[in-house]
Every structure is written in structure tokens, then in C-alpha cells.
Chains A and B, each alone.
Chain A
Amino acid sequence: GENVEQHPSTLSVQEGDSAVIKCTYSDSASNYFPWYKQELGKRPQLIIDIRSNVGEKKDQRIAVTLNKTAKHFSLHITETQPEDSAVYFCAARADYGGATNKLIFGTGTLLAVQP
């Protein structure tokens, strides 16, 4: 089955700096790659996603890149702010033709933005 690895497990940056979180996946049938943000004590919420037919997607200060050949995808946050402090999860979904939205998650990255 699918396996998703995520690095680093913790990341500390100064306010205004950029942050990059990297993930790798194992299943070549994966074609959907979302990123979730989980604030302390809250539920995970989708912040951005990318599908396998594009290499990059941006939404204001966040961007995601995908390298299907290397099975890598990354989250980039620019001009970080204290409210970006949270745990970030990457995920991957393999498509074998069924109806399942079976997301396999990475182990998470705790991002701390120091003011």
C-alpha cells in the first residue's frame, strides 16, 4: 500500500522567513496530494492540494510543488507569520478506479514561527 514520509518533523523559523516541508510517496498510482493544517487542539483543515497533471500550485503565501518522477511533493510558505504556527500534514491518494477517497498521511511537521 501507499507510504508517505514527511520531513522535517519540527521546523522553527523567524517571522518573515520561508518554510519548506517535504514529502515522498511510494505508490506510483497516487494522483492527488493535499496538505492539511492542524492548529493546537483543533481539527485538520485543508489548505492546498495539487493533482498529478500539474507541477505547481500557488495560493497567496503558500505553494505546493510536485515531482512525479521522483515521487516528491513539497509545501512552501513565504513571509511566515505567527499564525502559521501549527502542525502540517501531507497526504497522498492512489487511484485504482474505485470511489474511495483514501488519504494516507505523513507523520506531520510542527512549524513554529518565532516573532
Chain B
Amino acid sequence: NAGVTQTPKFQVLKTGQSMTLQCAQDMNHEYMSWYRQDPGMGLRLIHYSVGAGITDQGEVPNGYNVSRSTTEDFPLRLLSAAPSQTSVYFCASSYSIFRPNTGELFFGEGSRLTVL
């Protein structure tokens, strides 16, 4: 199993450009989520999904869109990048909490995004 795969690992954008961060998991996880990590701010939840066709907003959703057309994929879209979106982005997945003794989030390797 590859686990959680994110691409690209690094990206530089200019203000106003759009891009998509890709996330795929091969563990049959129902739950997927995106976090951003900034110095001193910890990991902040952007969007999450409990299954295909279902998405919801996290703590800091503004400026980001997501979709979940398949169980495996959960792309994060920046429609018009801003310098405030410079960050490290992590995709994470897990089994549904309805399964017994689950809860562990499995993280991807991260994507470092710089917006100039």
C-alpha cells in the first residue's frame, strides 16, 4: 500500500493563479481531510469528507474548494491564490469512526506551497 499520496510536493504560485493539490489514498478509508500547517498555528482543518459526494467545511475553509467524486481521491483547489495561503498542506485519511477502535489519521507527506 502506498498510503496517502499527495502531489505536488512543492509549488510556487503568483497571486491570483489557481491550482489543485492532489490527494489519493489506497486504504479504503471513508474519511478524508485537508489541513494547513503554519508556524505557531499548529494544524488547522480546511475541509473534510466522510464519503464520496459529501464534503464539509473545517476551521479555515475560505479560499479553498474540495470535491469527493471517488472514495480514493480528495483534491484541494485554490481558485485565486493569495500570499496568506503560503503554507504546508497535509492530506489525511482514516476509517469511519463507526468502525470499532478507529480514529488514527494517516497523513500524506505534505505539499509546500509558496504564493508570491
Contacts and interface: CB of A to CB of B under 8 A. Distances in A.
Of residues A44, A95, A101, A105, which shows the largest number of chain B Cβ atoms within 10 Å of its Cβ?
A101
Contact of B94 (A44, A89, A101): A101
Contacts of B30: 99
Given A44-B43, A44-B90, A89-B42, A100 B48 contact: yes
Contacts of B50: 98-100
A4 to B, nearest CB: 8
A39 B43 CA distance: 14
Contact of B103 (A6, A9, A49, A104): A49
Nearest to A42: B109
A70 B51 CA distance: 34
A34 B59 contact: no
Interface residues of B, number: 30
A103 B105 contact: yes
A100 B97 contact: yes
A86 to B, nearest CB: 14
Given A1-B59, A9-B40, A107-B40, A102 B45 contact: yes
A107 B90 contact: no
B110 A101 contact: no
A43 B107 contact: yes
Contacts of A104: 45, 59
B98 A99 contact: yes
B44 A105 contact: yes
B103 A93 contact: yes
Interface string B35-49: 100001111110010
B103 A43 contact: no
A108 B105 contact: no
A7 to B, nearest CB: 12
Interface of B: 30-31, 33, 35, 40-45, 48, 50-51, 56, 58-59, 90, 94-98, 102-105, 107-110
- 10 closest Cβ contacts across the A-B interface? A107-B42, A43-B107, A105-B43, A99-B50, A101-B31, A105-B42, A46-B104, A101-B94, A99-B96, A108-B42
